Structure 1
């Protein structure tokens, strides 16, 4: 897959792969495009999306590719449940997640909002949070009855 619908935007990700000594493969492009398309997705969801474009990729390739793309900073993973990690692209805004334990709703929170909320606490402890990996579990207003 090259540029076009479903393709990852820009060529920066291609350069990052090459600079790190990795080859640009159709499988890697398909996995990155699937993450971009799906927004937040588990490896199984990415696999299902990739399979709509190619039957020549298996689940273990998807897992290895997700790990590589995460390692290179092209995608991030977060733990939005007690199951498999959820992956999302880094090409948009960096954000944290609020996850409702009742309805499983995921709310994306801008980095600046999380920095405002956690910045003083982190500074007091000399700590630098990874905001793109941060997930806070709780109860949304709908489930709380408010």
Structure 2
């Protein structure tokens, strides 16, 4: 039985094909908005609506299988929690997203913890600016 099936069963829920398709799409796409996940899912199951995608993403996040970050003013972007934690660098001009290793913020995270008792959640960090091509 799959990891997802076991987690759902423990909560009294069942594994539906739609739930598995959403998780597979997030893992395959890397970083994806609910609309992008929906587009990937409907390739395999045409009847799945966007509301199902949003609800499933929320459930998968509650199960700690996916997480999200806000990379723009629009919908959140989801990715697999098993990916290495990273910071998102978002270009305001072309909207290109680059990943930065979390160690780049280690000094800041340590200082925030020591001086303020604040634990930085790297998975939800997005830094906005201009990429090298747009600068």
**TM-score, with normalisation over the residues of structure 2?**
0.89
Q: Sort the Cα spacing of 1:140 and 1:126 in 2 relative to 1 into closer, same or farther, 3 A.
A: same
Tell me the equivalent position of 1:112.
103
- Asked if 1:43 is matched to 2:34, the reply is yes
Q: Sort the Cα spacing of 1:140 and 1:123 in 2 relative to 1 into closer, same or farther, 3 A.
A: farther
**TM-score, with normalisation over the residues of structure 1?**
0.83
| Structure 2 CA distance for aligned equivalents of residues 49 and 101 of structure 1 | 26
Give the gaps of 5 or more residues in structure 2.
none
Tell me the equivalent position of 1:32.
23
Deviation at 1:58, TM superposition (A): 1.2
Tell me the equivalent position of 1:56.
47
Q: Secondary structure at the match of 1:57?
A: coil
Please give the root-mean-square deviation of Cα atoms over the aligned residues, in Å. 1.7
Q: Following TM superposition, where does structure 1 have runs of at least 4 consecutive aligned residues deviating by more than 4 angstroms?
A: none
Tell me the equivalent position of 1:124.
115
Give aligned pairs, total.
135
